[in-house]
Amino acid sequence: MLTDESSLPNIGLYRTSVQESEEIKKQVQELLEMGVIVPSCSPCGSSVLLVLKKDGGWLMCMDYRALNKITIKDRYPLPRIDDLIDQLEGARFFTKLDLKSGYHQDGQLKLNGKKCEFRKDELVYLGFIVGKGQRRIDPGKVAVITKWPTPKIVTEVRSFMGPCQYLRKFIRYFLTYAAPLHGLTKAKVQFEWGRTHEEAFQLLKRKISEAPVLALPNLQQTFEVKTDASSYTMGAVLIQDGKPVEYHFEMFSGGGCALGSQAIGVFTCLDEATACTSHEVDVLFDGFQHHYQVQEGGDEQVGRYVISSAGKGFIGGDTHSALSSVGVCTAVRIQ
């Protein structure tokens, strides 16, 4: 459905080389012979462009950006990547199926045999290499980041931070390392690349190249969350059987936290527990273990404490005094 049919786009052909023009004609003819497309006299026109594929072939793409701007989008939820990764625990063999011309299939599924992999101990999945009970960053992704040229404008900083953010769960203290670069991307901040930014840029590239292998979580077993916090930031590592599963790091909103150091420790433990998963937790306060129910997706008052799974702080009238009266929180066990 279109928002405004009176402004249908009619984009002219992009200029192409002789070789590219021949390739486009060839692919169009193949699609016509297969019955995938038919000749059209639509008042709306979009051009095509060729993109070089990994195997050296050409992928013909339609440029529908102008049409998409006046199209009412279909909305549907996409699965969370971390949930998809969690489902791989315990899998021994992996198979990857690649559909040939996936956008052009109707009622049939045809595979591209060259891109399919069967019964593998490990394979690339969503930018990671998974298998043997662990996941690690795809070396191809690492190579791209380590070879990234120094940004010259703010959009280039954002382009660099995009893939780095995707890999942040592999990097302990990620936000601390990335803070100078994040500062450059804020609104009304003039772009001035200095020594601090260059050091942060090189440090992030090195940390990603040295990123550890993470264990795939077994949701039937116990987790441990070890935390650290200051008046401005908090972080944690999710551990299972002594192996890191992921790192988590956040900055307190508003530039700081008004709670005392002991309360910050409690908040960090409970907040990181809700950030990692939705389970029952055992929290260790000064050597004494306390059991709690943690429900992700909302604030739930448990005894004297209110847990904020959104990471926005504690809620409640006497929460501050209650938390300040307990000892330092050192670890959380999630069951």
- Catalogue all structural domains in the chain, each as residue range(s) with its CATH number: 5-69 (3.10.10.10), 81-123 (no CATH), 139-209 (no CATH), 217-334 (no CATH)
The pLDDT value recorded for residue 240 is 85
pTM value is 0.67
Residue 231: how many other CB atoms lie within 10 Å: 14
Query: Shortest CA distance to 201 belongs to which of 173, 171, 161?
Result: 161
Is residue 109 helix, strand or coil?
coil
Percent of the chain topping pLDDT 90? 28
Residue 183: how many other CB atoms lie within 10 Å: 13
Query: Shortest CA distance to 302 belongs to which of 324, 330, 280?
Result: 280
Task: Evaluate if residue 89 carries a pLDDT over 80.
Answer: yes
Scored b (16 or more CB within 10 A) or e, 214-228 reads bbbbeeeeebbbebe
As a whole number of angstroms, the distance between CA 258 and CA 195 comes to 32
The pLDDT value recorded for residue 12 is 84
Task: Evaluate if residue 157 carries a pLDDT over 90.
Answer: yes
Tell me if 172 sits within 8 A of 235, measured CB to CB: yes
Take residue 78 and report the two structure tokens written for it: 């996409």
- Under 8 Å CB-to-CB from 102, ≥6 apart: which residues? none
Write out the DSSP string of 143-199: HHHHTPPPP-SHHHHHHHHHHHHHTGGGSTTHHHHHHHHHHHTSTT------HHHHH
The pLDDT value recorded for residue 120 is 93
The neighbouring-strand residues paired with 291 are 282
Task: Give the pLDDT confidence of 1-25 residue by residue, as tens digits.
Answer: 676 666 788 888 888 889 899 999 9
What average pLDDT does range 27-40 have in this prediction? 87
What average pLDDT does range 107-113 have in this prediction? 80
Helix axes 174-184, 195-209, angle to 10 degrees: 140
Compute CA 43 distance to the chain's CA centroid, rounded to the nearest angstrom: 39
Helix axes 154-166, 195-209, angle to 10 degrees: 30
As a whole number of angstroms, the distance between CA 249 and CA 168 comes to 9
Query: Shortest CA distance to 264 belongs to which of 219, 328, 209?
Result: 328
Task: Give the pLDDT confidence of 50-61 residue by residue, as tens digits.
Answer: 988 877 888 888
| Mean pLDDT for the chain overall | 75
Band of residue 200 on the pLDDT scale cut at 50, 70, 90: very high
The neighbouring-strand residues paired with 250 are 234
Task: Evaluate if residue 107 carries a pLDDT over 60.
Answer: yes
Write out the DSSP string of 274-314: HHH-SSEEEEEETTEEEEEE--TTS-EEETTEEE-TTSS--
